[in-house]
């Protein structure tokens, strides 16, 4: 029994000493202490299964911060990025956000990509009253966590319905097949809302198949689909898998249009998919070929810095950093309540991914563009712009605040946030 | 005298847990507080201790080769979370006349019972076939079973699927600490009992044990069921502390982590498993603090290399000290020998 | 009918890759009784080496059979060396220790390779260059086969025949069989067991690397964690066929590949979603082990207790 006593005592004294070590280790080695900069926490996956997402996000934010600091910083203060790797798991995401907030004392947090990781981490930020902007978590639930959580990307209901509209109205498709990533919340969200809208428009989803991230072979699912002869195939996934799916679909002699979302947007897509990407369309935030200076400058400097073209995650991350910097300027400092209000009232912010306005549920409301893939040239060609319901296209009136957009406070009302098509290219 | 020492030990342990719990709260313990991040790490160390101690019963003491412990944790976590999400609020109301904290405690205890039982059932499902399998075959079956559990949960939308599952945060550090102590004491008592001796005899020589009249079948299944039940409890506590569940947290890398804990600490050593749990949980977090080093124009971020360093430490430990830090000894044994000499 | 044939072709393509990796597992397990968890990562190393070779030597620009052959052999050679280094510096020092120790070492090596590659190449998937012109041929009806699939079949069969030859008709092969039969006795008979084990690792790693390049040629996406699932499934295939048994590994690989694809293709008709694909391999494994623990072709030897 002596052993029990001792073992417990030793275990607990260890915990205590550990606590002291942790307490003392407040200074973080990864950031150079440069005095009165503004610390911004960034967390993402740079070593796990989705490390490509984390890397792009980190790059985008780094680029934005460097540009802002080169221009004199915000209110005379430099922005400092404190990055922590969460290995792509919700448990670690929550751990690193508590580190960023309680140890590094960051003024605001940017991240994550995967909605599940953001959902795990967001309550920590909300409880500590530290604003968190997620660049690319599209599940409506993320910002429902509280008023300190916002995002600069579309939510799933909007993007899913955009492609359904396009398939039914522009491509005149009657039947569709969906091949979704069952391990990704993003993909499941798009699948659900595409199917709802497509059915509403008189189409029929005749077969739904799923895969898991990191799968290499999709011919099983595709062969099954080939028998059903759908007019279009909707593949709401990420470029890594999509490039291979497109290739295998064409190898099986399937020539119907392939539809996708912003997850396809990456320079690697062309190398992975090659000519198989002919006759494919995606919904996206912006078109990299858009001549607007903010887009072209971003693409150019990103390529110069990191040696690759930016993907949509990098663009969104860049925008989230710029939105945050702008809000710090508006709030006149990093007082968290003021900063939160400044972020939540962001209006018409000219980002790379469109003019960003946050609605009552702190979701970005912005039009989506449909792009046609030009496989031979390896670029996206602008096809049409689709506006969220209630947002008037700038062709008729200046796209002002969209007060009549119903706040997408839950998935049910969010589905009403459907799209109105405006084929007149206002790009 | 033994029972007196046990009582003193448990009282001391509970007092320390109480102090730690106070330190983790908003006000702190007489002004001494720890921040959220440190608190989280402490909680994960405690949960890792439960996982490591329970796996040690199967692997270290019974000598069965199970490498799918995270699967049982997932079963406990998800089954109890399903219960608290759907009935937690109702039961909290029912028991509210005891006061809010007591009501939460009762609900959590029910959740822990549910988690332990369902993980125990899962353990028996793996344990019974394990009678036919030995060594690496059993290892790969447990690994496969854990993966199947994860994939099945991923496909159940009622528990969140790929989005993740929000769970009420019933488990405070106090609860987690108490259950860590309970786990350690229970496993320790099992090991020191007749059952424990039977389990160790299976580890040392199964044929000989059987010849001596040990019902190896019964004991192997028992150790599987007890081990997995405690893993289920760890899962329940994890779920209700983390307040969010996702299958990405139960990948086979998690099972490996627990194996690494008991092997680094020393298989078949109670204190070894505890030490291993502390090291394996803490080390990757401490390595985050590594500085950047600039060589010429290139900056090497050692913090980015932390997982590489972790893997290297693991391999080197195995090469230099294959029996783990403590081997089958307990920390106290090192003190005891000294005492013997002076006598 | 043509759909079924198509699914079978799809499944056997993947199955051939599993078989190639499984061969390495089965040989290493046969000689050392070690689950080499890092074996799947060697497959990844092979694919990355192929990527670097093809890019550096300029084969990426113009597809040619020669370029493909050089890339394939080059990455097999590099992987063989990597395999020998791992064996020498990680596994040999722990060989005499308990099973648990060697297993943890294997897990450590696997993590080391993965994280090192994530650090060097970042986790972003890379596109493997097209080294052979890919055409699609129609067999009958809707059943089609592509050049890269044909290449996978031909190269795998060639490698398996070569392996069978090495093991049964060469001196070193005889030594390998002796070592796997009884390491201590082999040593007493004057066999340089260290060299034989090293050679076994080299051979197994080369086969895994060939699998890596062939897969990358077929599905041109490579990333540092691509080997984890393939490695696990290949191990399942090796156990299914009967561990230590060369034809068994091939049979196991093909069966797992086919079963997986058929579940994906037809599972939705009986209520099994296609994401259960990874569960299928493990479910088959558990069933086989319960019914016939030695595997399909394995000899029924009771493990000594």
pLDDT tens profile A199-239: 999 999 998 888 888 788 898 899 889 888 999 999 998 88
Instruction: Tell me which H or E stretch contains A354.
Output: strand A354-358
Q: How far is B20 from chain A (nearest CA, A)?
A: 8
Of residues C14, C122, C138, nearest to A217 (C-beta): C14
> Does position B196 have pLDDT exceeding 70, yes or no?
yes
Of residues B134, B148, B263, nearest to C104 (C-beta): B263
Q: Which backbone phi and psi does A422 adopt, to 5 degrees?
A: -135, 100
Q: Are B135 and C99 in contact (CB under 8 A)?
A: yes
> Does position A259 have pLDDT exceeding 60, yes or no?
yes
Please give the average per-residue pLDDT across A358-368, as a whole number: 88
Q: For chain B, give percent helix, strand, coil, nearest 5.
A: 75, 5, 20
- Mean pLDDT for chain A overall: 82
Q: How far is A81 from chain B (nearest CA, A)?
A: 14
Size of interface A-B (CB pairs under 8 A): 181
Q: What is the model's pTM?
A: 0.87
pLDDT of residue A30: 39
pLDDT tens figures, B217-261: 889 889 999 999 999 999 999 999 999 999 989 988 899 899 989
Longest dimension (CA), chain B: 70
Tokens 């430099």 map to which residue?
A78
* pLDDT: which is higher, A91 or A49: A91
DSSP string, chain C: -HHHHHHHHHHHHHHHHHHHHHHHHHHHHHHH----TTHHHHHHHHHHHHHHHHHHTTTTTS--HHHHHHHHHHHHHHHHHHHHHHIIIIIHHHTTS-HHHHHHHHHHHHHHHHHHHHHHH-SS-EEPP--S---EEEEETTEEEEHHHHHHHHHHHHHHHHHHHHHHHSHHHHHHHHHHH-HHHHHHTT--HHHHHHHHHHHHHHHHHHHHHHHHHHS-EE-TTTHHHHHHHHHHHHHHH-TT-HHHHHHHHHHHHHHHHHHHHHGGGGT--GGGHHHHHHHHHHHHHHH-TT-SSS--PPPP-
| Rounded Cα distance, B108 and B102, in Å | 10
Q: How far is C242 from chain B (nearest CA, A)?
A: 11
pLDDT tens figures, C168-220: 999 999 999 899 888 889 999 899 999 999 999 999 999 999 999 999 988 88
pLDDT of residue C246: 84
> Does position C300 have pLDDT exceeding 70, yes or no?
no
Confidence category of residue A397, pLDDT binned at 50, 70, 90: very low
Q: Left (φ > 0), alpha (ψ -120 to 50) or beta: where does A342 sit?
A: alpha
pLDDT tens figures, C51-87: 999 988 888 777 888 889 999 999 999 999 999 999 9
Q: Using CB atoms, which chains have 3+ pairs under 8 A with C?
A: A, B
| Rounded Cα distance, C9 and B334, in Å | 63
pLDDT of residue C192: 92
Q: Which residues contact A101 (CB under 8 A, 6 or more apart)?
A: A41, A109, A124, A125, A128, A130, B36, B37
> Does position A11 have pLDDT exceeding 80, yes or no?
no
Q: Using CB atoms, which chains have 3+ pairs under 8 A with B?
A: A, C
Q: How many CA atoms, within 13 angstroms, populate the side-chain half-sphere of residue B72?
A: 35
Please give the average per-residue pLDDT across B318-338, as a whole number: 76
- Please give the residue of chain C at the shortest CA–CA distance from A311: C124
- Please give the residue of chain C at the shortest CA–CA distance from B129: C290
Within 8 A of B136 by CB-CB distance, chain C residues are 29, 33, 35, 99
- With CB atoms and an 8 Å threshold, state whether C124 touches A56: yes
Within 8 A of A47 by CB-CB distance, chain B residues are 304, 307
Q: How far is A286 from chain B (nearest CA, A)?
A: 26
* pLDDT: which is higher, C77 or B156: C77
């Amino acid at each position: 029994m002596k052993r029990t006593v001792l073992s417990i005592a030793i275990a607990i004294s260890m915990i205590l000493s550990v606590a002291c070590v942790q307490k003392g280790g407040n200074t973080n080695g990864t950031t150079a202490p440069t005095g009165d900069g503004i610390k911004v926490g960034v967390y993402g996956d740079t070593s796990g299964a989705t490390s490509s997402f984390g890397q792009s996000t980190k790059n985008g934010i780094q680029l934005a911060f460097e540009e802002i600091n080169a221009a004199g910083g915000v209110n005379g203060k430099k922005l400092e990025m404190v990055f922590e790797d969460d290995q792509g798991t919700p448990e670690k995401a929550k751990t690193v956000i508590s580190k960023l907030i309680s140890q590094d004392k960051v003024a605001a947090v940017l991240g994550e990509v995967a909605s599940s990781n953001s959902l795990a981490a967001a309550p920590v930020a909300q409880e500590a009253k530290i604003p968190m902007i997620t660049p690319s978590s599209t599940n409506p639930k993320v910002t429902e966590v509280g008023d300190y959580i916002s995002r600069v990307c579309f939510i799933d209901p909007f993007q899913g319905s955009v492609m359904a509209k396009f398939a039914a109205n522009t491509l005149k498709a009657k039947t569709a097949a969906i091949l979704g990533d069952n391990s990704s919340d993003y993909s499941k969200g798009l699948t659900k809302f595409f199917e709802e809208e497509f059915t509403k428009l008189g189409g029929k989803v005749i077969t739904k198949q799923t895969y898991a991230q990191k799968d290499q072979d999709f011919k099983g699912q595709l062969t099954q689909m080939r028998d059903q002869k759908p007019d279009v195939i909707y593949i709401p996934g990420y470029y890594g898998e999509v490039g291979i799916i497109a290739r295998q679909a064409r190898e099986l002699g399937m020539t119907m249009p392939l539809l996708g979302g912003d997850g396809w947007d990456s320079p690697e897509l062309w190398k992975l998919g090659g000519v198989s990407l002919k006759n494919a369309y995606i919904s996206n935030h912006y078109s990299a070929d858009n001549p607007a200076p903010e887009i072209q400058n971003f693409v150019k400097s990103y390529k110069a810095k990191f040696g690759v073209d930016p993907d949509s995650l990098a663009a969104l991350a860049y925008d989230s950093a710029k939105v945050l910097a702008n809000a710090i300027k508006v709030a006149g400092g990093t007082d968290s309540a003021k900063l939160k209000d400044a972020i939540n009232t962001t209006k018409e912010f000219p980002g790379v991914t469109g003019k960003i306005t946050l609605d009552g549920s702190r979701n970005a409301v912005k039009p989506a563009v449909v792009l046609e893939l030009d496989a031979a040239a390896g670029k996206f060609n602008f096809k049409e712009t689709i506006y969220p319901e209630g947002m008037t296209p700038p062709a008729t009136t200046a796209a002002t605040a969209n007060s009549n957009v119903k706040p997408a406070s839950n998935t049910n009302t969010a589905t009403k946030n459907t799209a109105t098509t405006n084929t007149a290219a206002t790009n | 005298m033994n029972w007196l020492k046990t009582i003193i030990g448990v009282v001391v342990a509970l007092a320390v847990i109480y102090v730690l719990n106070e330190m983790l709260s908003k006000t702190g313990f007489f002004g001494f507080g720890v921040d959220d991040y440190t608190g989280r790490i402490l909680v994960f160390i405690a949960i890792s201790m439960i996982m490591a101690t329970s796996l040690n019963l199967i692997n270290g003491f019974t000598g069965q080769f199970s490498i799918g412990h995270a699967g049982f944790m997932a079963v406990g976590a998800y089954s109890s979370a399903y219960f608290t999400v759907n009935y937690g609020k109702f039961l909290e109301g029912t028991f509210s006349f005891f006061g809010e904290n007591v009501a939460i405690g009762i609900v959590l205890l029910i959740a822990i019972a549910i988690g332990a039982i369902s993980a125990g059932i899962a353990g028996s499902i793996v344990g019974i076939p394990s009678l036919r399998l030995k060594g690496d075959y059993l290892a790969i079956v447990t690994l496969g079973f854990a993966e199947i559990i994860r994939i099945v949960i991923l496909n159940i939308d009622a528990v969140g699927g790929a989005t993740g599952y929000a769970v009420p945060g019933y488990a405070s550090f106090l609860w987690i600490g108490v259950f860590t102590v309970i786990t350690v004491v229970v496993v320790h008592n099992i090991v020191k009992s007749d059952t424990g001796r039977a389990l160790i005899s299976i580890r040392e020589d199964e044929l000989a044990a059987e010849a001596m009249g040990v019902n190896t079948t019964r004991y192997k299944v028992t150790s599987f069921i007890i081990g997995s039940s405690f893993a289920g409890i760890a899962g329940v506590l994890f779920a209700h502390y983390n307040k969010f569940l996702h299958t990405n947290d139960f990948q086979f890398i998690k099972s490996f982590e627990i194996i690494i804990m008991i092997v680094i600490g020393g298989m078949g050593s109670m204190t070894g498993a505890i030490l291993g749990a502390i090291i394996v949980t803490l080390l990757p977090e401490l390595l985050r603090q590594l500085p950047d080093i600039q060589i010429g124009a290139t900056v090497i971020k050692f913090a980015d290399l932390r997982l590489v360093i972790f893997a290297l430490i693991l391999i080197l430990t195995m090469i230099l000290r294959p029996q783990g830090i403590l081997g089958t000894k307990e920390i106290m044994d090192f003190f005891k020998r000294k005492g013997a000499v002076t006598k | 009918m043509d759909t079924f044939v198509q699914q079978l072709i799809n499944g056997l393509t993947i199955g051939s890759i599993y078989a190639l990796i499984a061969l390495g597992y089965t040989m290493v397990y046969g000689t050392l009784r070690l689950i080499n968890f890092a074996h799947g990562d060697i497959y990844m190393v092979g694919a990355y080496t192929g990527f670097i070779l093809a890019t550096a030597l300029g084969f990426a620009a113009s597809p040619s059979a020669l370029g493909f052959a050089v890339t394939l052999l080059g990455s097999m050679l590099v992987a063989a060396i990597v395999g020998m280094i791992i064996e020498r510096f990680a596994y040999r020092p722990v060989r005499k220790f308990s099973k648990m120790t060697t297993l943890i070492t294997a897990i450590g090596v696997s993590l080391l390779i993965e994280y090192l590659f994530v650090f060097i190449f970042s986790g972003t998937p890379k596109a493997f260059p097209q080294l052979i012109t890919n055409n699609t041929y129609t067999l009958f009806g809707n059943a089609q086969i592509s050049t890269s699939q044909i290449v996978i079949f031909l190269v795998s069969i060639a490698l398996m025949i070569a392996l069978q030859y090495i093991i049964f008709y060469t001196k070193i092969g005889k030594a390998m069989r002796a070592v796997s039969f009884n390491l201590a006795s082999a040593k007493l008979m004057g066999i340089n067991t260290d060299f034989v084990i090293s050679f076994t690792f080299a051979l197994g790693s080369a086969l895994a690397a060939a699998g890596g390049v062939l897969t990358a040629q077929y599905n041109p996406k490579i990333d540092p964690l691509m080997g984890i699932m393939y490695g696990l499934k290949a191990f399942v295939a090796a156990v299914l066929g009967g561990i230590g048994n060369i034809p068994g590994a091939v049979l196991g690989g093909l069966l797992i590949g086919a079963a997986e694809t058929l579940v994906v293709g037809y599972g939705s008709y009986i209520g099994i979603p296609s994401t259960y694909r990874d569960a299928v391999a493990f479910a088959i494994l558990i069933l086989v082990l319960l019914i016939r623990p030695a595997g399909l072709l394995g000899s029924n030897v009771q493990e000594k207790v």
